Amino acid sequence: MAVEEGIDDYTQDGTVDLKGNPVRRSKRGGWTACSFVVVYEVFERMAYYGISSNLVLYLTRKLHQGTVKSANNVTNWVGTIWITPILGAYVADAHLGRYWTFVFASLIYVTVKETKQMLRMIPILIATFVPSTMIAQIKTLFIKQGTTLDRHIGNFKIPPASLAGFVTISMLVCVVLYDRFFGPVIRKWTNNPRGITLLQRMGIGLVLHFVIMAVASLTERYRLNVAKQHGLVENGGQLPLTIFILLPQFVLMGTADAFLEVAKLEFFYDQAPESMKSLGTSYSSTSLGIGNFLSSFLLSTVSDITQRDGHEGWILNNLNKSHLDYYYAFFAVLNFLNFIFFMAMIRFYVYKAEVSDSMHVLTEELKVMRLKASNQEAAKGIA
């Protein structure tokens, strides 16, 4: 029993220390180690969201860039940030991570089976590009809309970028509600430890992205009608309409993130081979990066096409003359088509078999070996 208890004290996921030795859970890690990661992430997120949420306003107000150019510059910047982790993941897995080998040697070492496993996830990865494009609107067009609305609460003036904070708040609330209430309840019927599968959770997030863009389109149509009623179309003045009419689309975006983004990160990590976990995690950030670049492409393309033949176009510097309602409706259709593609892809996906080298499995194997040895000794005694 003492041997088994000692074995159980080791980490169950193959974690080792800097010298490559097994790690005891009672002596390593815990909140002491976690606190360093938490503090680092808090300050890193403060810097990232502080810049990304206000960058479009800086580009338009200080550098005097147009709506399309400023939005594209923001999404290109964000896209670069999110897509570069795949390089770090490769270095971590193949060079500076678990194997401590040269990059070229590690490339040769990767087995065909592991490569196939990563390739099997690519269709699911592709299905996450479109919702990542929707997320890019938070830092660009959604915030630009806020500048045309009444931002006063008494004598206090709300910064337009502050609405992005509701995305994070609603996401955190929904994650807690899912883990504490929804998951345990649904688990009784599904017998799934997570409540529902990761792909099902991603599917709910995809549906919510369709709802978000439909709500955004209707909200924008209402905003444009108010602009016409008050004669503020041509001069692009501020509307007598509270900025909080945009709140539902920000809250819904956070709710969608609680399903799609959380499940996406867990799915790519869980389904990646043991030796390529960092690369699997980078799939999630890569989808955000590509989604931002896709947003730049779609915004430029739609703007150019809709301004042909003398038309004013859908996206102009004066948002009161623009037709963001059409643009958001286009995104809603795109999300619907992407959901159909996702449903088609998951029909052919088979979850990775649970294969582990953890101490728990080794313990069970030792029990079996001891049982066989006992049976053999008993058989010899009878003989």
Q: What is the DSSP string of 292-306?
A: HHHHHHHHHHHHHHH
- Give the predicted TM-score (pTM) of the model: 0.73
Structure tokens at 196: 């529902």
Assess if residue 378 is contained within a domain: no
Specify the long-range contacts of residues 366-372, CB closer than 8 Å, at least 24 apart: 366/7
Q: Residue 100: what pLDDT?
A: 42
Question: Ranked by mean pLDDT, which of 3-12, 151-160, 325-334 comes out on top?
Answer: 325-334
User: How distant is the alpha carbon of residue 288 from its chain centre?
Assistant: 7
Quote the pLDDT of residue 237: 82
User: Considering the domain boundaries, does residue 7 fall inside one?
Assistant: no
For tokens 């009419």, name the residue.
245
Among residues 276, 259, 258, which one has the least CA distance to residue 121? 276
- Whether the CB-CB separation of 170 and 251 falls below 8 Å is answered with yes
The gap from C-alpha 221 to its chain's centroid, in whole angstroms, comes to: 29
User: Once rounded to an integer, what is the mean pLDDT over residues 305-315?
Assistant: 88
Is the confidence at residue 136, as pLDDT, over 50? yes
DSSP 347: T
Q: Which pLDDT band holds residue 312 (cuts at 50, 70, 90)? A: confident
**Residues 341, 349: Cα–Cα separation, whole Å:** 13
Q: Is residue 226 part of a domain?
A: yes
Q: 112 is in which domain, residue-wise? A: 34-352
Query: Under a CB-based contact definition with an 8 Å cutoff, are residues 306 and 324 in contact?
Result: no
pLDDT tens digits for range 79-115? 777 676 666 556 655 555 544 433 333 444 445 566 7
Sort residue 69 into left (φ over 0), alpha (ψ -120 to 50) or beta: alpha
Taking only the tens place, the pLDDT of each residue in 32-72 is 667 766 776 676 667 776 777 777 777 887 777 887 788 78
Pick the more confident residue, 366 or 255.
255
Q: Based on the number of CB atoms within 10 Å of its own CB, is 300 exposed (0-12), middle (13-18) or buried (19 or more)? A: middle
Instruction: Assess if residue 232 is contained within a domain.
Output: yes
Residue 371 lies in a domain: no
Contact 258, 171 (CB under 8 A): yes
Tell me: pLDDT of 5 over 50: no
Task: Give the tens place of pLDDT for each residue, 338-374.
Answer: 999 999 999 888 887 644 444 444 455 555 555 665 6
Q: For residue 244, what is the domain's CATH number?
A: 1.20.1250.20
Domain membership of residue 261 (yes or no) is: yes
Residue 60 lies in a domain: yes
Q: pLDDT tens digit string along 10-21? A: 665 556 665 667
> 325 lies in a domain?
yes
- pLDDT confidence of 208, banded at 50, 70, 90? very high
Tally of structural domains, the chain: 1
